[in-house]
């Protein structure tokens, strides 16, 4: 038997806080990108965290119980049908940075150009989430 996924209903006002935290995560990714000694995997992780929190902010603002998971696909599936964020389920590709990729070195080649694109994607999702959150 698989464990039941937990969900929690938050006060609508919490969506503002989540969006501020998501924005901070994106700024952290940018700071890591600009530090030659930092692990790029950590920047990708921070973009994944930005998107996760931003999507959760939309759910909170729409009074939808939030799954207590880090899986972007699960969060996307909980969005109301009329909401279709940019990149859709392609965002689930970033899940690997919230888990196994944080604990590996050198298994995959990452570069700043790829990170730049992911940060741009994170910004686009954050902007979309801000526009689709109601306070």
The tokens for 66 are 């939030």
Position with higher pLDDT, 98 vs 1: 98
Find the distance separating the first CA and the last CA of the chain, reported in whole Å.
Answer: 39
User: What is the pLDDT at residue 1?
Assistant: 44
Which tens digits make up the pLDDT trace of 15-50? 999 999 999 999 999 999 999 888 888 999 999 999
Whether the Cβ atoms of residue 101 and residue 108 lie closer than 8 Å to each other: yes
Q: Looking at residue 110, what is its pLDDT?
A: 80
Q: Over the stretch 63-122, which tens digit does the pLDDT of each residue have?
A: 999 999 999 999 999 999 999 999 999 999 999 888 765 566 656 678 889 999 999 999
Q: With 80 as the cut, is the pLDDT of residue 2 above it?
A: no
- Global confidence as pTM: 0.91
Q: What is the pLDDT of residue 97?
A: 84
User: Of 95, 80, 86, 65, which Cα lies nearest the Cα of 5?
Assistant: 65
- Architecture per CATH, 10-129: Up-down Bundle (1.20)
Q: Residue range 2-7: average pLDDT?
A: 70
The residue among 128, 60, 115, 57 whose CA lies nearest residue 88 is: 128
Give the sign of the dihedral formed by CA 75, CA 79, CA 83, CA 88: positive
Under DSSP, the state recorded for 47 is: H
| CA quadruple 4, 44, 19, 76: dihedral, nearest 10 | -40
pLDDT at residue 78, as a whole number: 97
pLDDT of residue 79: 97
């Amino acid at each position: 038997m698989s464990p039941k996924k937990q969900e929690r209903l938050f006060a609508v006002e919490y969506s503002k806080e989540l969006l501020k935290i998501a924005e901070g995560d994106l700024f952290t990714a940018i700071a890591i990108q600009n530090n030659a000694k930092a692990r790029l995997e950590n920047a990708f992780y921070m973009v994944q965290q930005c998107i996760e929190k931003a999507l959760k902010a939309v759910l909170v603002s729409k009074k939808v119980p939030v799954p207590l998971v880090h899986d972007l696909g699960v969060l996307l599936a909980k969005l109301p049908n009329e909401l279709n964020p940019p990149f859709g389920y392609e965002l689930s590709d970033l899940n690997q940075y919230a888990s196994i990729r944080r604990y590996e070195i050198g298994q995959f080649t990452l570069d700043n150009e790829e990170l730049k694109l992911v940060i741009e994607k994170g910004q686009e999702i954050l902007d979309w989430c801000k526009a689709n959150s109601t306070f």
